[in-house]
Amino acid sequence: MQSHEVDYEILGHDIQLVEIELDPEETVIAEAGALAYMEQDISFETKMGDGADPGEGLVGKLFGAGKRLMTGESLFMTHFTNEGTQKRKVAFSAPTPGSVLPIDLAKEGGEIMCQKDAFLVAALGTAIDLAFSKRLGAGFFGGEGFVLQKLSGDGLAFIHAGGTMIKKELQGETLRLDTGCLVAFSTGIDYDIELAGGLKSMMFGGEGLCLATLSGTGSVWIQSLPFPRLVDRIVAAMPKPANYERN
């Protein structure tokens, strides 16, 4: 199914949202709870599946929903459609502070892999599926377990990440980064995990036990502040209660 063509504007700086302009009968799909606001004539309906394959039967939808349920994702997705005769706008915000990035899937080989919780919203016709890492090391130590999210299609998809998001273009090169800082990568990129140097570096270097390695030719998107790291820093900075006793 060819994706709907949508216009958009990214609003804000440190905590962004995306405002999408829909022509009559255009639709976008979003994760449950992502809506910020919508203008009149925009209707929404919660459905099982992404609607990328109109001919998909009940069994296929149940299988896809089962995979999402097993990995902690919602069974359903929300479809927003402009049922009026004029252009209308609908906006979506990320569940955590950070950036929203538009990705033209047609320019990225028709497919990207991203963190399980990175997807925010996409044009109808985009297929959202779950993929499992083929590498044992990447599965156990890659921060998101065996599960990655696969976005496929020829239209716009929007992903979100913590802090600032940057894009790196690899030309037969290898990039190493903190596993939590990886947001997404395109086809042509090989994803694996390696130990972070020697024993002393792993124990006292503050960079964790493992690093993500991405090799090949394609695009890699990186976030500057993964949400778990932000939470850890907030908890560490909180004053201890007066009656706190160290065990």
Counting as low any pLDDT under 50, the low residues of the chain are 136-145, 199-207
pLDDT of 205: 46
Residue 243 lies in a domain: no
Residue 195 lies in a domain: yes
Residue 98: partners with Cβ closer than 8 Å, 6 or more residues away: 14, 15, 16, 160, 161, 162, 163, 165, 223, 225, 227
pLDDT of 5: 82
pLDDT digit string, tens, across residues 49-78: 777 665 555 555 555 555 555 555 556 789
Three-state DSSP state, 67 = helix
Q: What is the CATH number of the domain that holds 24?
A: 3.60.160.10
Residue 208 lies in a domain: yes
Mean pLDDT of the chain: 80
Residue 231's domain comprises 7-236
